[in-house]
Structures are given as structure tokens and as C-alpha cells.
Amino acid sequence: MQPFSEETGWHWHDMNTHFVYALRGLIRFRLDGADEAVTVVAGSCLSHPGGVAHNVIGQSHDLEIIER
């Protein structure tokens, strides 16, 4: 898998909670209301309430995640 060439754009998920756990690599998010980007690296996770707008701004070529 290759990193994407463009950001995903601002979007949200219609669920109670959005959870991302990185098995390999890294993924970077911008979250609505946060001043800084959040980087999730292998062995770490991100969880935020559903409906929170976010934009995936980057990922490593070896990214492998569990997302719910």
C-alpha cells in the first residue's frame, strides 16, 4: 500500500465512537477543535466521539490499522 497523495477531506462517521488502533506504520489526523495534528503510531490509538469532523492528512506506506 502506498501513502495517498491527497488528504481525505473533512468528514465524520455516523456512529457513537470512532476508534483507530495502529498495528504498523502511522497515520496523521486533524480533528475539529484541536490546534495540533494527531499522529497515531504503531501500538497507539485514537478515540473520539462519533460525529467529530476530522481529516486524514497523511499515512506511512506500511500503515495497518484496526478501525471501528
3-state secondary structure 16-45: CEEEEEEEECEEEEEECCCCCCEEEECCCE
Residue 6 lies in a domain: no
pLDDT at 6: 82
Q: Which three cell numbers mark 5?
A: 497523495
Q: Which three cell numbers mark 37?
A: 495534528
pLDDT at 2: 53
pLDDT by residue (tens digit) across 24-66? 999 999 999 999 999 999 999 999 888 899 999 999 999 999 9
Residue 12 lies in a domain: no
The model carries a pTM of: 0.84
- How many structural domains is the chain composed of? 1
pLDDT at 1 > cutoff 60: no
Residue 36 lies in a domain: yes
Residue 9 lies in a domain: no
Higher pLDDT, 1 or 37: 37
Q: 60: domain range?
A: 17-67
Residue 5 lies in a domain: no
Residue 7 lies in a domain: no
* CA 65 vs CA 15, 17, 27, 33, 51: distances in Å: 18, 16, 9, 24, 20
pLDDT at 20 > cutoff 90: yes
Residue 57 lies in a domain: yes
